[in-house]
Chain A
Amino acid sequence: MMNRFFRLLTRTGLAAAAGLWLVLPAQAVVEIDVNRGTVEPLPIAITDFLSEDGLGKQVSEVIAADLARSGLFRPIDSAAFIQQIDNPDQSPRFQDWTAIDAQALVTGRIVPDGGRLRAEFRLWDTYGQSQIIGEQFFTTPENWRRVAHIIADTIYKALTGEEGYFDTRVVFVDESGPEDKRIKRLAIMDQDGANLRYLTKGGQIVLTPRFSPNRQEVTYMSYADGQPRVYLLQLETGQRELIGNIPGMSFAPRFSPDGSKVVMSIGRQDGNSDVFTMDLSSRTMQRLTDTNAIDTSPSYSPEAGQIVFTSDRGGPSQIYKMNADGSGQTRISFGNGSYSTPVWSPRGDLIAFTKQTGSEFAIGVMKPDGSGERILTSGYLVEGPTWAPNGRVIMFFREEAGGGPKLRSIDLTGRNEQAIPTPNFASDPAWSPRLD
């Protein structure tokens, strides 16, 4: 079912939609420059979509919440609205919207259509007095949130020029029970915390789930057979598989950008760890590092030519970079403290990391050559960055002294940190790629 859904949306939906955007004239007056250091959120009026029930209002609320959480938009309180939209096909009275300083306006309706829902929406440039986008989506009723996220992505892209990241999901580790008897379950949810579903039952420790590029699979580490070992999980069927007959422990898995390989750490007899890849079709392994050190947390560059990883071969753990065949290993982090969990941005321009200095942890970014280090947030424990597919937002987990871990997101300005709602404690988030 999910396969079919993904294929459909990939081939028919978003790919074609991208074509649509290309032909739109880029003449909108209203736009947001996400590259500026400080961004004043754009005031936007998101009216309740017309519907025979409460669903239209719910769709609008999901869109508004997505856009507000990005920090780039400020949805205007509907109490300030002057015009009541009763026919979304007609041009709005633009002066009623500029009067409350709504620079953009969203209108729409939800209509039952033969057992399905038809969602129509329009994005208006109020000062330019024109429609920026008008689109229509069909969906099954239970899938209404997904359509709201797709609409939010469409608005985000139209006004920022960047791809949106709202129609995405997060796989993470749900943590319940006392700290010394913690139950850990893999869970998956929408990026806003909705539609949570558990993927494992909590009988063994599971850690560090990561999506495959087609979002169909998750690779993760589990103690299912006593040792830390890397597994593959098919999201559609729930089928679970040990990644290979590897002696000793394997951990810190991550897919290659084309999904053909998993790169991971494998424990040595002497207690140290090296980085290997496993080709998933031939199940052959290739050694990439060979040192008397802990070499771990490998992450591919988006074009797959290079891999960043951490190693304590030179003292405290630092970030290293190598070619995808293991050649040319060079250290790129040189700041005070220790560095771990490097993750290459899907845009290729930055590497996110966890940094430990004294008693504090921080999440930061640096350029792939190690220059331009910037700390985005810090605390008693912050760990495990993962990138939104547009490379503008990072999710991680934060734990206060005496508390438990919870998921957070932060944008690259470091000014917009948001809590991601989860029912229990939560750690090790991995943001899904976008479908395209």
Chain B
Amino acid sequence: MRRLIELSRNPAMIALVGALALTGCASKKNVPNSPADLGLNGAGSAQPGTSQDFTVNVGDRIFFDTNSSVIRADAQQTLAKQAQWLGQYPNYSITVEGHADERGTREFNIGLGARRAAAARDFLVSRGVSSNRIGTVSYGKERPVAVCDDISCWSQNRRAVTVLK
């Protein structure tokens, strides 16, 4: 029944092609996302040594110029404070998340986020934080913190965020 019969242009003759149903289903585990960025909620008096203290009083993130992973002067100050804080509280390990703005293509931005995370990590190591306390991950342009369509937004998304573990 599934033979294909070779036929002529005669209207009474036709070719036979068999076809079956197309089905299938996917089943897989649901794995939750890793923790979201810490919010800047502006709480005034954070307990020293807490993640809130780190976020509010030290600063958990640095920003980059377009397409760049160079640690700017303002970012160097923030990272120096992070290194000092991490020296004070040696029980924390950290993940440095590298992010890119939306003005790039997806795969390249994964690469760019990784480069930014590594640059921040290397700076922290240069300021005395042990490299085995630091992990990195790139989110490319997948986790924008600011959502709008102008330059001020894009500059907030070009960031490396230090997340305490």
Contacts and interface: CB of A to CB of B under 8 A. Distances in A.
Interface of A: 1-2, 4-5, 8-9, 12-14, 16-17, 19-20, 23-25, 89-91, 120, 122, 130-140, 142-143, 146-147, 150, 178-182, 184, 195, 197-205, 207-208, 221, 223-228, 233, 235-238, 240, 249, 251-252, 265, 267, 269-273, 294, 296-297, 310, 312, 316-317, 338, 340-341, 354, 356, 359, 380-381, 383-384, 401-402, 427-428
Contacts of A135: 14-15, 17
A418 to B, nearest CB: 22
A38 B114 CA distance: 45
A200 B13 contact: no
B20 A8 contact: yes
A240 B117 CA distance: 29
Contact of B19 (A146, A294, A427): A146
A201 B28 contact: yes
Contacts of B107: 208, 251-252, 265, 296-297, 340-341
Nearest to A121: B14
8 contacts: A5-B21, A17-B17, A136-B16, A204-B32, A225-B31, A228-B137, A267-B114, A297-B107
Interface residues of B, number: 64
Contacts of B137: 226-228, 249
B40 interface: no
Interface of B: 1-4, 6-7, 9-34, 36, 67, 69, 98, 102-108, 110-112, 114-119, 136-140, 142-145, 147-149
Contacts of A354: 105
Nearest 7 Cβ contacts at the A-B interface: A271-B118, A238-B26, A294-B111, A16-B4, A136-B14, A271-B115, A203-B30
B7 A20 contact: yes
A265 B111 CA distance: 9
A317 B144 CA distance: 22
Nearest to B25: A238
B4 A12 contact: yes
Contacts of B3: 12
Contacts of B15: 17, 20, 134-136
A238 B111 contact: no
Contacts of A142: 21
Contact of B111 (A205, A207, A273, A381): A273
Contacts of A120: 14
Contact of B33 (A25, A203, A249, A381): A203
A272 B111 contact: yes
Contact of B17 (A12, A317, A402): A12
A221 B11 CA distance: 51
B121 to A, nearest CB: 8
Given A8-B18, A9-B19, A269-B118, 6 more contacts: A2-B22, A122-B11, A133-B9, A134-B7, A224-B31, A271-B114
A383 B24 contact: no
A136 B6 CA distance: 11
Contacts of A184: 142
B149 A401 contact: yes
B104 A238 contact: no
A180 B36 CA distance: 10
A178 B3 CA distance: 52
A171 B9 CA distance: 38
Given A13-B17, A135-B14, A384-B105, A402 B32 contact: no
A13 B19 contact: yes
Contacts of B139: 205
B145 A180 contact: yes
